[in-house]
A and B are shown apart, each in its own frame.
Chain A
Amino acid sequence: MAYDKFNVLTSTAVPLPIENVDTDQIIPARFLKATKREGFGDNLFRDWRYNTDDTPQQAFILNNPIYTGKILVGGTNFGSGSSREHAAWAIYDYGFRCVVSSFFADIFKNNAINMGILPVQVSPEFLEKIFAAIEANPNTQFEVSLPQQTIVILSSGEKQTFNINGYKKNNLLNGFDDIDYLQAMKSDIVSFAATHAI
């Protein structure tokens, strides 16, 4: 389904300076039993966020009211592991619309865009600047512009561009999705299938 359009997002950010955040941390497998897409945000980062007795783990960043916002900033290789789209659903359901990292796992990145979450890949140096800016002031605002393909640390004006292919960019800007596109070219697919040997 098509989700919210993404254009320019200005928000504070939640820092998670951990490398290799895998999909089992984002949403543990035991919480994948729903047959609907909604509600996964409650268990986002479940085992880091809650103690075994279900009380909040105070040291975890999502339990610290100082840090809020629609941008999640993670360490390098964010989203490695499983193909579960539930990881993107949980991040979206919690309220994030953008994830920033210096490197993303492939399937997660795809799943995020398909969910309407913008993955923004920045250099390791710029990622450090973002973490430092949030550490200095948790209220630091960031501006993520999809049309410009830029992320700006508004307190300092430091800016970096990010890549996204033109097709996906257009989808996110307009709230289109791949299924609409594929349905529209169905006759081409049917012709292809007819001549395809396997």
Chain B
Amino acid sequence: MSNTPTTLFDKVWDAHVVRKIEDGPDVFFIDRHFIHEVTSPVAFLGLETRGIKVMVPEHTFATADHNTPTINQHLPVEDPLSANQLKALEQNSAKYGISHWGLGNPKNGIVHVVGPENGITLPGMTIVCGDSHTSTHGAFGAIAFGIGTSEVEMVLSSQCIMQPKPLKMRINVKGTLGKAVTPKDVTLYIISKLTTAGATGYFVEYAGDVFEKMSMEGRMTVCNMSIEMGARGGMIAPDETTFSYINGRELAPKGEAWNKAIAYWKTLKTDADAEFDVEYNFDAADIEPMITYGTNPGMGMGISKSIPKGADLKGGTATYEKSLKYMGFHEDEQMIGKKVDFVFIGSCTNGRIEDFRAFASIIKGRKKADHVTAWVVPGSHIVEAQIKEEGILDILTEAGFLLRQPGCSACLAMNDDKIPAGKYAVSTSNRNFEGRQGPGSRTLLASPLVAAAAAVTGYVTDPRDLM
């Protein structure tokens, strides 16, 4: 053991390097691999063509989520192409001995929700999936990131991928968060400061008392959005909050294995004096409930502010103007008071129980605005069950909301949950790209509290006014 102070990221990364290639990537060992229906079929096709088997089937987990309907899941999937992808996932999983949580399975849900809630995601692991929001799992002190389909094939066939080691960034947020400021606001604030490419080439560690005090659900929301500033992933050192979340989950270590695991997990932190390639410091008091006004997640602002002037920003004004034109907004306008047509709560960013508790806290005793269409989509069946157990379903029903069935839904609109062209959606998801939620859709990213405030008033509303 060398005495050089090292970072959490170095500790986990270095423990997984099978071989260092000179002037090339590291051959990087993967502990857990999640697959879903959209980015895996071609990888399995590749295995077939090459005549290779899956190396460690029990370390890959399949769930159907991107392409699944969020109503009437007991009926056959209508879209033949979607049905075909779902069937391919089921057949490939069966053929290679991979556990598969398909539609109707009580463990089914969004991959980045079901991994943690079933105890698959653990500290110190390397975790990949053909989905950029795999960064979510970094909340547990894991190195987790999204990969392409060629890499899915690599993991299936060799449990390794080829990765150059990213640079290291630490983002410290210290202080106390204000009223109605949630983990989603923290991440939208950070991305608005760093821009959508500000962390490209880096792996981020989030540190400071704001994250130490944050729940696991909140940490997952923050790590989830790391990719939206270009980072490969983000991670938070595991602590008692992490351990108590994991303890007792179905696939988590038990008995002696648990004690051994905890002892190891406690070593997973950045040493004092360890160096990062770049470091940012933010003050929690500067963060207010956030909302985006443009067509990338870096175009966010405090909800009480006005849309920035293009001339005040870095980067090309032509792209900025194109973005505002798409949104139908103008420089220097207020966002508060803008009419909202759709509200979406759900996704791998904000589809966990804490998000629905927050949503319910605002809508309780109020009614959904008549002109708003609301899609309330739990991240998994386990979250759905919690919503029912905790009485949140009653609050939703009373306020005029329908609880749908789990899936990625309107976050990327692969299924029928599409926002129509020109309509405005306040969405708790992660991307506001042009057409992301349906061709021509206009997305305002925000927290579950801001989404709830929009759902009951029908306009962009500061949730602090309703609390």
B-contacting residues of A (Cβ < 8 Å)? 1, 17-20, 22, 24-25, 28-30, 32-37, 47, 52, 75-77, 80-86, 88, 103-107, 110-111, 114-115, 165-168, 177-179, 181-183, 185-186, 188-189, 192-193, 196-198
Contact = CB atoms under 8 A, between A and B. Distances in A.
B38 A28 contact: no
Given A181-B162, A185-B27, A35 B413 contact: no
Given A47-B435, A80-B230, A181-B162, A196 B131 contact: no
Given A35-B41, A76-B197, A193-B159, A107 B24 contact: no
A193 B149 CA distance: 23
17 contacts: A29-B66, A30-B414, A80-B197, A80-B296, A82-B431, A85-B39, A85-B42, A106-B166, A107-B232, A165-B24, A165-B164, A166-B24, A179-B52, A179-B150, A183-B158, A185-B27, A193-B29
Interface string B74-88: 000001011011001
B435 to A, nearest CB: 5
B230 A77 contact: yes
Contacts of B421: 52
A95 to B, nearest CB: 20
A168 B24 CA distance: 7
Contacts of A29: 66, 412-414, 436
Contacts, number: 198
A192 B81 CA distance: 40
A83 B131 contact: yes
Contacts of B433: 22, 24-25, 81
Contact of A111 (B150, B154, B200, B232): B150
Contacts of B436: 24, 29
The 4 A-B residue pairs whose C-beta atoms are closest, nearest first, are A167-B24, A166-B23, A83-B146, A85-B148
B264 interface: yes
Interface of B: 15-16, 18-19, 21-25, 27, 29, 31, 38-39, 41-42, 45-46, 49-50, 52, 55-56, 66-67, 79, 81-82, 84-85, 88, 122, 124-125, 130-132, 134, 146-151, 153-154, 157-162, 164, 166, 196-197, 200-201, 227, 230, 232, 264, 296, 315-316, 318-319, 322, 412-414, 418, 421, 431, 433-436, 439-440
A110 B21 contact: no
A184 to B, nearest CB: 10
A14 B316 CA distance: 20
B19 A188 contact: yes
B29 A179 contact: no
B158 A77 contact: no
B46 A106 contact: no
A1 B150 CA distance: 8
Nearest to B82: A33
A75 B318 CA distance: 11
B132 A22 contact: no
A64 to B, nearest CB: 18
B97 to A, nearest CB: 17
Contacts of A88: 148
Given A24-B435, A75-B319, A179 B153 contact: yes
Given A166-B24, A167-B21, A24 B201 contact: no
B11 to A, nearest CB: 13
Contacts of A115: 150
A33 B196 contact: no
A181 B21 CA distance: 11
Contact of A20 (B25, B154, B296): B296
B1 to A, nearest CB: 16
Contacts of B412: 24, 29, 82
B31 A198 contact: yes
B73 to A, nearest CB: 18
A82 B27 CA distance: 23
Given A19-B315, A179-B158, A82 B132 contact: yes
Residue of B18, B49, B158, B230 most packed against chain A (CB within 10 A) = B158
Contacts of A183: 52, 157-158
A197 B413 CA distance: 40
A198 B141 CA distance: 14
A114 B146 contact: no
A19 B319 contact: yes
Contact of B147 (A1, A107, A182, A193): A107
A24 B433 CA distance: 7
Given A1-B49, A33-B85, A107 B319 contact: no
